[in-house]
Structure 1
Amino acid sequence: MTAASSAAGRLPRVALLDYGAGNIRSAQRALEHVGAHVEVTQDPHVAVEADGLVVPGVGAFAACMRGLNAVQAPRIVGQRLAGGRPVLGICVGMQVMFERGVEHGVDAQGLGEWPGTVEKLEAPVLPHMGWNTLEIPEGSAMFSGLDADTRFYFVHSYGVREFPLEADEYIEYPRIAWAEHGPSRFIAAVENGPLWATQFHPEKSGDAGLALLGNWVRTLA
């Protein structure tokens, strides 16, 4: 039994949303490694009722949104977050949490959980592929036990370069990790109550990625 096991002795149940665009198997293996029982699913009931939901994503923003709409993901994510139930977005699974994405001349609507636009990074070399450090926010549960020299694995050409959300004394402001590629500074991760998301791939980031996924799975107990 792992540290992520609940007090009742069972493994946290994680639904890994399969909508035709995602790094499904490597994410499944990584989550199982840190103590989750993972079910790859397109079933809205399973996705809503699981202890945690993972929304992966690889490819173009608009294509991912079409796949997500086909499996009722906007309703699933909205219903979970309304009840304070954890959701983790990975790569394009993070990008779709923002209002919109502009990619290859296509302007597509996202899930709108956060303000902001996904757009092409301004850098001489794209895609941004490989290992990079982050500006880790203070008090982050997502990055607990990890230091500023920790590197994560990225593969992307698009990102969110601004987070146009004003601070509100009644709402806790999201904790945002930033990264840089060339002259572009972009959002690398967001921790916002039950909604966590990463632009990088924790499932491809070795021990650091497993530590982050373990931090998330422990919130599900």
Structure 2
Amino acid sequence: MRDRVMTVMVAGTETSASALAWTFHYLAAHPYTQQQLHTEVDTVLCGRIPTVADLPKLDVTRRVFTEVLRLRPPGWMTTRVTTTSTRLAGLTIPRRATVVVSPYVLHHDPSSFPDPERFDPDRWLPHNAQHVPRGAMIPFGAGTRKCIGDTLAMTEAALAIAHITSHWQLSSHPGHQVKAALRMTLGVGPLPMRPTPRRPLAP
């Protein structure tokens, strides 16, 4: 139990921070989507602090974050060790070989995601998401080694985004070029932004 708790605390800090930073970067670069998000949080929250009970109503919020995880998955690369010799894509992989798996590469495959570099939260509308191939979207991994904090991460991110955007509009700093920072996680690097107070609808 201790190991599980430490995993969530350690692995769920920088990853969540990076994903949230990328979220606000993309929102600032897409004013129409940001306005949709503001309208949603104003309508659902009316200025109050969001709770877990609000999650089903925060559809735009969830789709925005899901699209950010597709474009900039914090866990952009992972490894697995084969337990037996196998063939994959015409290659023979011996037992105990280390195989590198990149969610980033998978998420940018045009056969699964048309125009993969485009930020489009509507990809995750039900009638569109049903066409995403199984295994094409794995920001938290998959199978028995899937991240144990996936539900927690999606929940805390949605609540954080809703709360922040309810009270603030973040805009990009003029002239600043965002560069990905490739480390253990896919960080955003320095990200100066300008916060402007908003006046959400009163409860």
Task: Return the TM-score normalized by structure 2.
Answer: 0.26
1 or 2, which has the higher strand percentage?
A: 1
The one of the two structures with greater contact order (alpha-carbon pairs below 8 A, sep at least 6) is 2
Question: Which protein is richer in helix relative to its size?
Answer: 2
